[in-house]
Structure 1
Amino acid sequence: MSRAPGMALAGGAARAVLAIAMALCVLAGAPALAGPLDDPRSDAFYTPPQPLPSGPHGTLIRSRPFIPVGLLAYGWQVMYKSNDVNGLPIAITGTVLVPFTPWLSGPRPVIAWAPGTQGQADNCAPSHQYALSTEYEATIAGATPATLARGWAIAMTDYQGLGTPGDHTWGIGKAEGQAVLDAALAAQQLSGAGLSANAPVGIMGYSQGGHAAAFAAELQPAYAPGLNVRGVAAGAGPFSIADVYANVNGGPFGGVGPIALMGLNAAYPELGLSSILTPYGQSVIADFRGTKCLLDVTASYPFLSDSVLVQAPAILNRADWLARMAQNQSGNGVPAVPALVYAGTLDEIIPFGQNQKLFAAWCARGGNVAFRTIGATEHATGLLLGLPVALDWMTQRFGSVPAVSECP
């Protein structure tokens, strides 16, 4: 429910005072109030209630404030209802950030932020990493502070299986897209955040987040028609999961491979990953379920190939795995709102051609799509250089500037 600006500020301030009090208690050694800093595996906040509460997808289940260190914003960890790839209700956690600065020109815009790849361990959940000030999209990449500086709120999903039970469904487009949309719906119900159900919403993401943002935009008209979505900016996301898997498998970023395999197996357990693993592969998967997040696993497993992870035949020679990968190709739908696709030409993880294919697919379906080349940059630099482009483009969407399609 929308609140008057004064009420929203008062509610947010009250939450901030509580968050500060919680932090002081943590420093004083009060374990009962240390929740936002606890590992999700031992933190009851991340354990979904059984049964799940009634209500549609996007229903807010629980929330608690935390202090987002280094960000001039109020912060909440949230749990909300979503659906898995089969349409069954699940609980997912996430983060809501609202800038300290008041928004005085109508409802404050909300960015439904799709985070990039984090890893498979539960402690890699963005909601947990924001509390610890270790989330790379806030620190190294600077994406979150740059977005908050525009005065926009952020509703960021953890996706299925990050923090909450089970492996994370990396690369499963339907599950990712639903989680992104439901985070925005849940944020609008958050007491004290002052976010309106009529707030303009922008969908943004890079890398895995680009894939999730694309699916969220394609799903939105049917799945979350009540959201006032103004545009989607999808950066350097996979178009074909199989092509991206082939690109990283055995290469410098081979550590991304097991994240993908675990994600597919989590969504489609009949693939039977555990039954085809080699003894070494079993140890690798166990390590990925431990505590290592993206930067650690990529540093620990350069040039990792599924030739040592799984028994013959290789993953891309298995028809059942290829079929499930194909089901998660983006571009089979089209956003009902203006879209931006952007990437760097030297991207070594998500080849530039992947983004050209998404642009072409959306154009072929009648989309209003723009394409931006972020120079001769690799993947990480593409995030840094592409963010201002995406933010400027989204500013125009929130400002009701007509979007000019670049489709041929």
Structure 2
Amino acid sequence: MHRPHSTPRPHPSAGRRPRAERKQPSARPESAARDRGRLLATALAVLACLSVQALPAAAADAGAVVSRGVTIPAFYTPPANLPAANGALIRSEPLPLALSLPGLDGPLPGTATRLMYKSTDSNGQPVAVTGAYIEPSAAWKGGGARPLVAVAPGTMGQGDQCAASMGLEHPITFNGETVSVGYEDLAVYRLLAKGVAVVVTDYVGLGATDRLHTYVDRLDGGHALLDAVRAARGLTGASVAAASPVGLFGYSQGGGASASAAELQPTYAPDITLAGTYSGAPPANLTSVIKGIDGSALAGALGWSLNGFLQSDPDLQDFADAHINAAGKAALNDLSTMCVGDAILGYAFKKSTAWTTDGKSVSQLVESTPALQATLADQRIGNLKPTSPVRLVTGVQDDIVPHAQARQLAVDWCRKGADITYDAIVLPNLGDGLLLNHVAPLITDQGDAISWLTDRLSGKRASSNCWTMPLQP
């Protein structure tokens, strides 16, 4: 599906509108502006630490798909016909890594390949998913075959230009229309440094240009991550095979995807034996998460969720028509091509009450709408039992992806007899709604997360601490 230059991607509840015709945001209160200024300063400080040069967006070719001034390579346009097998490679090509140095055994940290592979969406339909595989230059010292870790990225946005595989090539894209940051590159490179092969999924609809990204959809996310493992195994020249130990790694949206994949694996991918899964700050109960993100610095994520569910479940369209007003539909259309940076700058601290016909919040509408309750109940992670070890981490101050619902996932799995290592990260409150309470555990725990996972990949047994749950915050 080709889109005109600089035109936002259409979504099910709003028509296609040129950028020049979109209503501009109204003036923000001074307090919100000050909060946004502090948040932006923090984000810029993090970017400065990355020491990555900002890269301009690519120039547009005639007929190319363009998202906020960024030309999406033709590679990301799926073919009309897809293979039958889940994880089957559709196409691949070399992927130049932005951060790459010459080494004796090849480029450091490794050699990357862009992937497109077949998966199955939440409606049981075939779907093309993109991603990347990176063959590390470093040797694996853990014994046995080189392991493979499938990385589920955290929240990137809903525009195709936000895809994690593109972030490996362009860690920062800033062109005046979009701000895209490949922040998952850090975890990827740390895994590569240990000699672990890495495959990264872009998720359903992020990168691939035929549909919207189905943000936080547990089936789409879990399937895409497991099928990325299959795709990596089928790649010519990759050093991983069926005998290679496999791990899953994700935080935030990625934590939900890795958690979903871990509990779906016994039925969806019995051919994959998981050594361990890291799930950080998983959005396991979306009813709770909606309350956390509404009015926060990441308020735009609420729009991404609505866009995805409206695409996956057309029966919700009548609800959208009745309850989402013109401003809400314009916001959903605008957000459908945004990355995280764009959404923070454009929609931070916005409340969903401004998007509804009766002034109710989305959470209040959920409480009074059985169809929405059913949709969110179907998204609940924790109703199935993972049969491999999982380390679940949540920050006790996390108010964006609320701590209590993530902890409840650990409780639900422990009650089912799963092998769970639960860690509560205790940090000071860094500011309600500012996203910092959510991001801080990602940074402070990442080293421990990678160490735990590489221990599992080395064959070391995990020790469940479910018995400590009554003592843990």
Give the match for residue 89 of structure 2.
Answer: 60
Alignment of 1:259-278 (within 5 A): 259-272=304-317, 275=321, 276-278=323-325
Rounded to whole Å, the distance in 2 between the matches of 1:74 and 1:176 is: 25
Matched, 1:397 2:456: yes
CA spacing shift, 1:111–1:376, aligned 2, 3 Å: same
Q: In structure 2, what residue type is equivalent to 1:324?
A: T
Give the match for residue 152 of structure 1.
Answer: 196
Rounded to whole Å, the distance in 1 between the matches of 2:236 and 2:243 is: 16
Rounded to whole Å, the distance in 2 between the matches of 1:98 and 1:274 is: 45
Of the three residues 421, 441, 445, the one matched with 1:386 is 445
Give the match for residue 125 of structure 2.
Answer: 88
Q: Which has the higher helix share?
A: 1
In the TM superposition, residue 314 of structure 1 has moved relative to its aligned partner by: 4.0
Q: Is the Cα contact below 8 Å between 1:199 and 1:228 reproduced in 2?
A: no
Matched, 1:143 2:187: yes
3-state SS in 1 of match to 2:466: coil
Give the match for residue 221 of structure 1.
Answer: 266
Q: In structure 1, what residue type is equivalent to 2:312?
A: A
Rounded to whole Å, the distance in 2 between the matches of 1:362 and 1:166 is: 33
In the TM superposition, residue 80 of structure 1 has moved relative to its aligned partner by: 0.4
Give the match for residue 17 of structure 1.
Answer: none
Give the match for residue 15 of structure 1.
Answer: none
CA spacing shift, 1:344–1:314, aligned 2, 3 Å: closer
Structure 1 stretch displaced more, 155-164 or 178-187: 155-164
Question: Normalised by the size of structure 1, how large is the TM-score?
Answer: 0.86
In the TM superposition, residue 138 of structure 1 has moved relative to its aligned partner by: 3.8
Matched, 1:75 2:112: yes
Q: Is the Cα contact below 8 Å between 1:74 and 1:100 reproduced in 2?
A: yes
Q: In structure 2, what residue type is equivalent to 1:334?
A: K
Alignment of 1:2-401 (within 5 A): 42-53=72-83, 55-71=84-100, 72-103=109-140, 105-134=143-172, 135-138=181-184, 142-164=186-208, 165-272=210-317, 275=321, 276-290=323-337, 292-312=338-358, 314-316=361-363, 317=365, 318-376=369-427, 378-401=437-460
Q: In structure 2, what residue type is equivalent to 1:235?
A: G
Rounded to whole Å, the distance in 1 between the matches of 2:171 and 2:348 is: 26
3-state SS in 2 of match to 1:94: strand
Rounded to whole Å, the distance in 2 between the matches of 1:218 and 1:83 is: 16
Deviations 1:327-366 (A, max 9, x none): 1111111111111111211113112112210110000111
Structure 1 stretch displaced more, 206-215 or 339-348: 339-348
In the TM superposition, residue 180 of structure 1 has moved relative to its aligned partner by: 0.4
Deviations 1:170-224 (A, max 9, x none): 1210111000000011011111222212210001100011111110000101111
3-state SS in 2 of match to 1:158: strand
Percent identity over paired residues: 35
Unaligned stretches of 5+ in structure 1?
1-28
Q: In structure 2, what residue type is equivalent to 1:284?
A: A
Rounded to whole Å, the distance in 1 between the matches of 2:286 and 2:250 is: 17
How many matched pairs? Answer: 374
In the TM superposition, residue 41 of structure 1 has moved relative to its aligned partner by: 6.1
Rounded to whole Å, the distance in 1 between the matches of 2:81 and 2:205 is: 17
Deviations 1:224-264 (A, max 9, x none): 11113101110001121011001111233322211111122
3-state SS in 1 of match to 2:129: strand
Structure 1 stretch displaced more, 365-374 or 250-259: 250-259
3-state SS in 1 of match to 2:271: coil
Rounded to whole Å, the distance in 2 between the matches of 1:163 and 1:253 is: 21
Structure 1 stretch displaced more, 43-52 or 326-335: 43-52
Rounded to whole Å, the distance in 1 between the matches of 2:298 and 2:441 is: 16
Question: Normalised by the size of structure 2, how large is the TM-score?
Answer: 0.75
Rounded to whole Å, the distance in 2 between the matches of 1:322 and 1:50 is: 35
3-state SS in 2 of match to 1:144: helix
Rounded to whole Å, the distance in 2 between the matches of 1:223 and 1:113 is: 18
In the TM superposition, residue 101 of structure 1 has moved relative to its aligned partner by: 2.1
Unaligned stretches of 5+ in structure 2?
1-58, 101-108, 173-180, 429-436, 468-473
Q: Is the Cα contact below 8 Å between 1:207 and 1:237 reproduced in 2?
A: yes
Rounded to whole Å, the distance in 1 between the matches of 2:408 and 2:391 is: 13
Q: In structure 2, what residue type is equivalent to 1:295?
A: G
Rounded to whole Å, the distance in 2 between the matches of 1:145 and 1:242 is: 34
Rounded to whole Å, the distance in 1 between the matches of 2:279 and 2:411 is: 14
Q: Is the Cα contact below 8 Å between 2:148 and 2:196 reproduced in 1?
A: yes
Rounded to whole Å, the distance in 2 between the matches of 1:131 and 1:230 is: 29
Rounded to whole Å, the distance in 2 between the matches of 1:80 and 1:114 is: 15
Q: In structure 2, what residue type is equivalent to 1:44?
A: A
